[in-house]
Structure 1
Amino acid sequence: PVYCEGAQRPNPFAFLALVGGPGGPPGKMDNDEKGKGTSPANEPAAVPPETQTSAPSDSGGGAGAPQRDFTMEPTSASTRYQYFFGVSAGFAAMTAGAWLGWPSSTIEYLSDKKILIGGDVSTMVALMDFGNMLSPIPAGYLMDIVGRKLTLLGTAVVYLIASLSVLIYENKWPLFIARIMAGLGKGIAFSVVPIYLAEIANVQIRGALSTMFIGFLNLGMFYGYVVGPFTSYMVLNFAILAIPLSFLATFLFFPESPYFLLMKSRESAARKSLSTYRKVDKTNAEQMTHLDHELSEMSRRVERDMKNKGRFVDLVATKGNRKAILIIAALAFFQRSSGISPTLAYSTIIMPKTGGGLTPKVYMIIFSALLIVANFLALPLVDRLGRKPLLLISSISTGTCTAVTGAFYHMQYTKTIDVSSLNWIPYVTLLLFSITYSIGIGFLPSTLVGELMPTNVKSHAGAVSAIILAAVSFMVNKVFKEVSDNLGPAVMYLYFTVMCFACAAFVYFVVFETKGKTFGEIQDILNGQSTTKDNKNGDVSLELRKDEV
């Protein structure tokens, strides 16, 4: 067995949710985290007797001592199985990504056929975000009622409705329905999958599976941008339809989360489910013993979670939660105010038709590929440079890209100078934008949801973040086309630039670095306490800042 070091925090199980990425398992917070002072430090660890260790006492009396969480060692079989689960669940994100890039390949066709006229274009683009706003909160409740698996399979239904709507009808109303359905599917997938993954995966590969799921969103955009320009409208829609069908065909065979089954007091089914995900050899007595220990620990976690269920009002119930939700909400707002959504949807119709050497649609293929590569390359930087430096670098450099782009469109719209020889500028800034956005502001806001919020309200904070992301995207996508047609794209790029630099200022003055800090230390900072660490032995002591006395 492997005993993974838990962080120095009152709740020895909180680490399991944190490493699962944003929106970890709901309802996981000890009374210590809520300020009630009940620590589970004296509970026996759910480990085999021969390896059980006692946790050292905390002389300071504040935070609980570090404990080690028991988890079975992943085997090659269980790792393969869980990665297959990640790929299958990733199809739900890939479908959402394909629908995000769908307008870029279809706006011209739909406008030429007079299916979309005037403001219909911006409405069609924005309605996916409207659908995305509607589903996170209901999905959060539904997956605790009917289960993670059935709720997630619901995304296949809404995605199929979306594809069939555009395949059968060539009318704006079915198009609008398709976009709403695609948004509903995206909201459900991104509410359920991070929690599902956190509950079934081994700790050692949980972070990789979560990262892979986000990567499938970018892969879906790349897929749509590659297929769209070189095929017909109908072929593109059939190509997108193939993704949820692949999800449906593969995901049906995975068992329900053992965590949910324990919530419903179905111990036998939970044991069978966990055994499947761990690929336990039933003839191996040691593996069966370890399975029982992990299931026993999970059962105690579920019991504790059911007693400490979070509510939306708890997001603002304490000083620490209020500051955390302020950071999460503001960064979500700034992320979508940076211009990413209109860039995905409208770049092919606003960029100059010449000057880049390639067509705008080919540049969007390169753009989406760079999003994937840059996001992958940024992952090791998160724990080397830290979250705050990456956010600062990303927001400032992204703001610089939008400022240069805006200056070009201003000169083009006002015709103050001849910019025909400068048509290459928006192409270059588009590719630079894909890199600067991906290394920080594009993914770190979601990361901070998992790091800043106590686990019993983490899913609620994730829902709030998702709704803000969708709402801002909806407004920006709807306004961008109208403003660009009447005042020129430069006005919107000025807005993007101001928001990027406002984000940098917010990060500099409000956001603090979480790199290398335990969950307990992060909560102390949020609640107005500072932490000092002895470099020799890593002991943590707490000091109340003078301005908080």
Structure 2
Amino acid sequence: MKSVSSAQNQYLATFCLNLLSVNYGFVCGWTSPFFPILQSQDTPLASGPITTEEGSWIGSAMCVGGLLGTLVSGWMADRCGRKITACLASIPQIICWTMVIVADNAYYLMAMRFFGGFSGGVCFIVIPMFIAEISEDSIRGMLASTLVLSCNLGILIMYILGNYLPYATIPWVVMLFPIAFLASFAFIPDTPFYLMRKNDYVQSEKALRFFRGYQTGTQQVSNEFKLELVKLKDTFNDEKQTIKQDVVTWDDFVTPHARKALLIGICLMAFNQFCGCFAMLNYTATVFAESGSSLSANMSAIVIGTIQMFGSYFSTILVERAGRKLLMTISGAGIATGLAIFAAFSYVKSIGQDVTSYNWLPLACFSIVIFVASMGVLTLPFVILAEIIPQKIKGLSVTVCMTILWIFAFLAIKYFSTLFEVLGMHGTLLLFSSCSLAGTLFVALYVPETKGKSFEAIAKVMS
């Protein structure tokens, strides 16, 4: 007998978890509406307007926190559990918004972004892990895709709040999200897989019953549930029996498959960051203020946030139809073209030409860039990475690649404003366009198509 609402608690747990990723989106989007205010004479900071150097550190501190959060959560998830690790992410989120409330100089805001980034590093490790371990096969992909969607939702909401609410009100509003997470997630059990690994068979079965919609003590369960429980126990027993032979050594990283996969993974992380889209999303209002868009900077940011949401949604729809490589290639080419046109507009404007009749162009170009980026370059590198890395070294390799991603993100965000000053807007955009073109060529020439292929088939292609 199958439970009538077997997926209900899976949806519930996913919703609760994504309160964290929405709040991480708030942190990402916060700089866009408030940097212009913080740099103006009307700054709310007692120390006065922030400098360009301080602004770059505020922006990039998130990446330092994200790197540390990635390393800590990967270790903590196996030792303390997925649930406790997820709860860990809510504490720095509360701290980060408290920093905004009490801030009277730029150092508080650097700390705010650091703690927000730390929570993001935890989210991107533990949320996919938790969802993968509680979900039925038929809805696993859909539930996993909500992580990026909810982050984008958080960015969009912050753009809207930043346009309509005062600076001092924002942290009080968004702090409700991590508090709501802690209150709701307290009733969600840890994953059945983790509990089984801790030799807690009784609690593992209770957790599986919860996520499959059966009440504790229910005698009538479906054959599918019985088979899943047996498989869970067998998987754990097999893991114990093979743990010695599965110890990862240096030799596992120097096989042709591993070397090629790691090289592709690192290059995709570079493509993800040096296309410039993530950096520009942190400074969206500033970008449009400098470009002379016909819309206000904050309204332009709201439009971009909405388009980003649609782009990431279309990515989840098309990835199993069009394929990873085709979407990545189209995405990269679209970014390169859109940024090149944007750069040309900015250059013509900088030399004193009248571009009033083309003031719609920055918003149109950036909208297209963010849409195609959200369809491919900003989302699919993580999918490809998980598919091409050899299974034996996947956990460590993904952690290494995510660590490198945060380093690249730090460089892109830290020196974004510096590039603006040295190269101008047109030079900065042209640099990102060139990086996108290089990334597109790399994907077209060296990244294999993994759509519809088993891990065995992918390993043959990669060897």
- When normalised by structure 2's length, the TM-score is 0.93
Give the one of 250, 260, 271 matched to 1:323: 260
Which residues in structure 2 correspond to 1:367-406 (within 5 Å)?
367-406=304-343
Q: Is it true that 1:92 corresponds to 2:20 in the alignment?
A: yes
2:369 aligned residue: 433
User: How far apart are 1:179 and its partner, in Å?
Assistant: 0.6
User: How far apart are 1:494 and its partner, in Å?
Assistant: 1.8
Which residues in structure 2 correspond to 1:232-251 (within 5 Å)?
232-251=166-185
Q: Secondary structure at the match of 1:78?
A: coil
Give the one of 52, 63, 71 matched to 1:129: 63
2:383 aligned residue: 447
2:159 aligned residue: 225
1:339 aligned residue: 276
5+ residue gaps, structure 2, are none
User: How far apart are 1:485 and its partner, in Å?
Assistant: 2.0
User: How far apart are 1:235 and its partner, in Å?
Assistant: 1.3
2:354 aligned residue: 418
1:58 aligned residue: none
* Farther off after superposition, 204-213 or 340-349: 340-349
Alignment partners' CA distance in 2, 1:354 and 1:119: 21
Cα distance 1:312–1:120, how it changes in 2: closer, same or farther (>3 A)?
farther
Task: Report the AA paired with residue 185 of structure 1.
Answer: S
- Does structure 2 conserve the Cα–Cα contact (< 8 Å) formed by 1:96 and 1:220? yes
Alignment partners' CA distance in 2, 1:239 and 1:458: 39
Q: Is it true that 1:494 corresponds to 2:422 in the alignment?
A: no
Give CA-to-partner distance per residue, 1:305-347, whole Å, 9 cap, x none.
3534564846623211211121111111111111112211223
User: How far apart are 1:423 and its partner, in Å?
Assistant: 2.6
Which residues in structure 2 correspond to 1:356-367 (within 5 Å)?
356-367=293-304
CA RMSD in angstroms comes to: 2.0
User: How far apart are 1:115 and its partner, in Å?
Assistant: 4.5
Cα distance 1:374–1:289, how it changes in 2: closer, same or farther (>3 A)?
closer
Give CA-to-partner distance per residue, 1:446-503, whole Å, 9 cap, x none.
1112211233432323222322222111111111101212331222212211111111
Task: Report the AA paired with residue 495 of structure 1.
Answer: L
User: How far apart are 1:288 and its partner, in Å?
Assistant: 6.7
Task: Report the AA paired with residue 322 of structure 2.
Answer: L
Give the one of 34, 47, 57 matched to 1:106: 34
Alignment partners' CA distance in 1, 2:336 and 2:132: 35
1:140 aligned residue: 74
- Does structure 2 conserve the Cα–Cα contact (< 8 Å) formed by 1:98 and 1:223? yes
Alignment partners' CA distance in 2, 1:335 and 1:279: 39
Alignment partners' CA distance in 2, 1:281 and 1:256: 16
Alignment partners' CA distance in 2, 1:94 and 1:344: 15
Give CA-to-partner distance per residue, 1:141-198, whole Å, 9 cap, x none.
1111111100110011111111111112222111111110001000001101111111
* Farther off after superposition, 486-495 or 314-323: 314-323
User: How far apart are 1:379 and its partner, in Å?
Assistant: 2.2
More helix by share: 2
1:47 aligned residue: none
User: How far apart are 1:353 and its partner, in Å?
Assistant: 7.0
Task: Report the AA paired with residue 394 of structure 2.
Answer: K
1:178 aligned residue: 112
Alignment partners' CA distance in 1, 2:180 and 2:250: 39
Tell me how many residue pairs correspond in the alignment.
454
Alignment partners' CA distance in 2, 1:448 and 1:228: 35
Task: Report the AA paired with residue 230 of structure 1.
Answer: Y
- Does structure 1 conserve the Cα–Cα contact (< 8 Å) formed by 2:291 and 2:346? no
Cα distance 1:310–1:236, how it changes in 2: closer, same or farther (>3 A)?
farther
User: How far apart are 1:297 and its partner, in Å?
Assistant: 1.1
Q: Secondary structure at the match of 2:453?
A: coil
Alignment partners' CA distance in 2, 1:141 and 1:420: 55
Task: Report the AA paired with residue 175 of structure 1.
Answer: L
Alignment partners' CA distance in 2, 1:448 and 1:437: 15
- Does structure 1 conserve the Cα–Cα contact (< 8 Å) formed by 2:90 and 2:119? yes
Give the one of 129, 148, 153 matched to 2:87: 153
1:19 aligned residue: none
Alignment partners' CA distance in 1, 2:57 and 2:453: 44
Q: Is it true that 1:351 corresponds to 2:267 in the alignment?
A: no
Q: Is it true that 1:253 corresponds to 2:187 in the alignment?
A: yes
Cα distance 1:174–1:282, how it changes in 2: closer, same or farther (>3 A)?
closer
Q: Secondary structure at the match of 1:256?
A: coil
User: How far apart are 1:285 and its partner, in Å?
Assistant: 4.2
1:293 aligned residue: 227
Q: Is it true that 1:207 corresponds to 2:141 in the alignment?
A: yes
* Farther off after superposition, 214-223 or 450-459: 450-459
1:77 aligned residue: 5
- Does structure 1 conserve the Cα–Cα contact (< 8 Å) formed by 2:257 and 2:462? yes
Which residues in structure 2 correspond to 1:23-42 (within 5 Å)?
none
Instruction: Give the number of the structure whose alpha-carbon radius of gyration is greater.
Output: 1
- Does structure 2 conserve the Cα–Cα contact (< 8 Å) formed by 1:310 and 1:457? no
Q: Is it true that 1:468 corresponds to 2:396 in the alignment?
A: no
- When normalised by structure 1's length, the TM-score is 0.79
- Does structure 2 conserve the Cα–Cα contact (< 8 Å) formed by 1:355 and 1:422? no
Alignment partners' CA distance in 2, 1:493 and 1:470: 21
Task: Report the AA paired with residue 116 of structure 1.
Answer: I
Identity of aligned residues (%): 26
Cα distance 1:352–1:175, how it changes in 2: closer, same or farther (>3 A)?
closer
Task: Report the AA paired with residue 517 of structure 1.
Answer: K
Alignment partners' CA distance in 1, 2:249 and 2:61: 26
Alignment partners' CA distance in 1, 2:179 and 2:153: 17
User: How far apart are 1:140 and its partner, in Å?
Assistant: 0.8
- Does structure 1 conserve the Cα–Cα contact (< 8 Å) formed by 2:8 and 2:213? no
Task: Report the AA paired with residue 524 of structure 1.
Answer: K
- Does structure 2 conserve the Cα–Cα contact (< 8 Å) formed by 1:162 and 1:178? yes
User: How far apart are 1:354 and its partner, in Å?
Assistant: 8.5
Cα distance 1:77–1:485, how it changes in 2: closer, same or farther (>3 A)?
same
User: How far apart are 1:92 and its partner, in Å?
Assistant: 1.1
Q: Secondary structure at the match of 1:96?
A: helix
Which residues in structure 2 correspond to 1:8-87 (within 5 Å)?
75-87=3-15
* Farther off after superposition, 162-171 or 345-354: 345-354
User: How far apart are 1:78 and its partner, in Å?
Assistant: 2.4
